[in-house]
A and B are shown apart, each in its own frame.
Chain A
Amino acid sequence: MVSTRPSTTDAATERPVPAPIRAAVVVALLFLFLVGVGLLESGINALGSDVQEELFSSVSNPMAGLFVGILATVLAQSSSVTTSTIVGLVGAGLLGIDDAVPMIMGANIGTTVTNTLASLGHLRRPAEFRLAFAAATVHDAFNLLAVSILLPIELLTGVLSSAARFLTELLLGGSGAEFDSPFKAAVKVPVGWVEELWGDVVGLQGTLLGVMLVVTGLAAIFLALTFVTRNMRQLIAARVERSINAMLGKGGGAPAILLGIIITVAVQSSSITTSIMIPLSAAGVVSLANAYPVTLGANVGTTISALLASLATDRPEALTVALVHTLFNLAGILLFYPVPALRRLPIRIAEWLAEMAARRRSMVIGYVIVTFLVIPAIGVILLR
């Protein structure tokens, strides 16, 4: 039957990569990702204390940290890149847990821009666009509400970081200043090669060497995550399709949250999971109430990147920050999902925004620019 066979032209131009090879490539890319985090840590250490102080003094203000997190994620179009970088900075001892937590929360807000941009593809068809925009902005609404409640609580009580410290001690079996990560040992060798390349072969030293190591590390993190996502998307596309079809027959709820977690952990990108929901919502195949829990699951699933990044460092604080990311998203779900009245709050906000956007579609671009670029940029400038 025609439907299951690619056309001759397709087959000629795009030969499918066997699954075991793709899986091996993903493992190699994950190693590259850890090497990237290691290079970042090494580069930061090579920068020297003056430059370090100059670079990161601005984020000691929690609101500035939050806005930096938003801006960095919007620009990188990936919260995984941002949170892994933050974990790397904590691993290098440059950022404290208290400074990193608002940045992590900012990354959570920043990542929602991707599916909001995806919803713009339906801009010309108002009925579809209203549904697509609501499905996209329910993620914005949830993250903004969660941050507006949990950030002040964290700043006042430190409840999330305390819980994360407790879990770190539980996982690492002690409260020492350093722990021996087996991954760190494996990563040290290639990190050493890159250090030799920039230092001994090219002849860089001091701050310049540090900058090049940071740039190489960031490039490795970005490339690794991009290609992990691309390969995993191909590897598990059939499973994603099958499980979404099963969800359509059974509705949302906790299983949909779990599904969002599983898909996102597998593809290492919450944007992929949430962006799949956009055309489904626009076509009326998935209701907003059922897309919402998948989005919440994606928020939790994306924290796997920071947890993985923490494996490449020796400092327990890096794992603590990664765990804060997970706990923050779990706490957000506990706040806004079990109680029906609170569960409807992000949905109502998203529906209201979508109604406004469908009526005045020109304001959509303004919403994206102001929420994700102008406000964070002004915040960073004023609060640094």
Chain B
Amino acid sequence: MSAEAHHAEPGFFRKYLFSTDHKMIAMQYLFTGMIMAVIGGYLAYVFRMQLAYPSQQVPGYGVVSPNEYNSLVTMHGTIMIFWVAMPVLLAAFGNFLIPLMIGCDDMAFPRINRLSYQVFFLSAVVLLASFLVQGGAFGGAWTSYPPLSAKGAYNLTPVGASMWLVAVALEFVAFLLGGINFVVTTMNGRAPGMKMYDIPIVVWMIVLATIMFMFSVGPLIAGAVMLLFDQLLGTGFYDPGRGGDPLLWQHLFWFFGHPEVYVVLLPALGIVAEVVAVFARKKLFGYKTILHTAWAVWVLSFVVWAHHQFVAGIDPRMANVFSITTLLISIPLAEMVFVYIATLYGGSIRLATPMLWALAFMAEFLIGGVTGIFLGASGTDIYFHDTYFVVAHFHYTFVPIAIIAVFAGLTYWYPKMFGRMLNETLGKIHFWGSIITFNVIFIPLFITGTAGDQRRIYSYAQFAEQARPALQHLRVVSTLALLVFIAFQLIFVFNFLWSLRHGQRAEANPWMANTLEWTVPSPPPHGNFADMPTVYRGPYEYATPGRREDFWPQNVPN
């Protein structure tokens, strides 16, 4: 796929499974993430069918039992965040883009990079294997709160609970190994001439996100060891009867869990920045503003975590503090979106598929951000907490991040990754089909949530005060929209696979972009650059007055 046969062609295993080439590792992460996305989507399909048509046969699954329902929602959340969003946004794009965009031949530590993927692969195997053990996969929610998660008698999935913890811990190790590589490579491996403010925004964002991940995950690694000991070795770290405190887990989890949102958000914002500048044919408005707001998000993200715990029994005075910081963090993020809109203003916009996805990201993420205000303020959160309003809000942030921005990035860099162009018509059909159905899935959930529908309920029929038959049609609409959404993804899969062989051949720079990855052939050969590039200017010099072409690649002297 990637290596031109300069010397002896490496064997299948050396090339695809034990490669140290950053592009191959990126593809491994990408395809693993996509396979996991199919599994996560299948789980969502099963439990949405259960919610729309309670206790009936689900085609392709069977009747869902209450325990299985818990496992389904838990594993859907876990897989989509830790095994789809993280590997695709951070690891796949990070691995593929960082060395190419900063103009070097590989990661600083290629073998540690390979180890990172191998540990990640192992973590995925452990997680998927937990479906097969006695009691089934973990059913204590993706946040894994004790005492529910600490005692098998409570969560009814004693083996699955521990396997879940081990899998998550392995996954963290994988991203620590990969992440340190990202940071060090970007700091030390830049091409001559590339100063701090010449680094493309997406690389900045991936590195900032990585540092954020490295700093927030440590306490949770310690906390996960403690929870594992509670499960297996009879300690009482989170057992109030024995001097422990279950709130400690919540704090350690969200000290990581909330920055985690920004860990995946920042790369998504970076991808959107690249796409917007290229397809508006205009210099990115306020490069430094974006960076400074990203730093502000970075700092603030470490002081907002307890807004997930307003109803968990934290002190109301602390809840006030965390309400304020939470509302504050929306300011830099809003500013960033304004900067992107300002970039569009006066540009000559080309509505190619990547641009459509980037624009959709801004529109949909805006809804996610605005509904977050209700949950960040502790007063309203007490009502909305644990309703489908939270679910809808969450998906209005995470679907733009992990689906929409990823499609923007994939459709934009596909020619560079595989040397072929995607089909534009299919791309646009897929775009409109996905965006419309996505809104039809989640807008009804805002309504049912506001009406009081609790999440994590297997069947409303068993709770008289929860039944609300008048809302059932909304639950059905949401499920049906999901079915259509999934059907539209088949178009993307077809387009992706068909274009690999039959797409139009991509030249080196089909989008006429400035960043360094577009100066090498598509797909880039082993070692990336035939001659190591030198950088002369920032990455967003589009439509410079007095130049014949409307773009000005970073490595062209004048």
- Do chains A and B interact in one complex? no
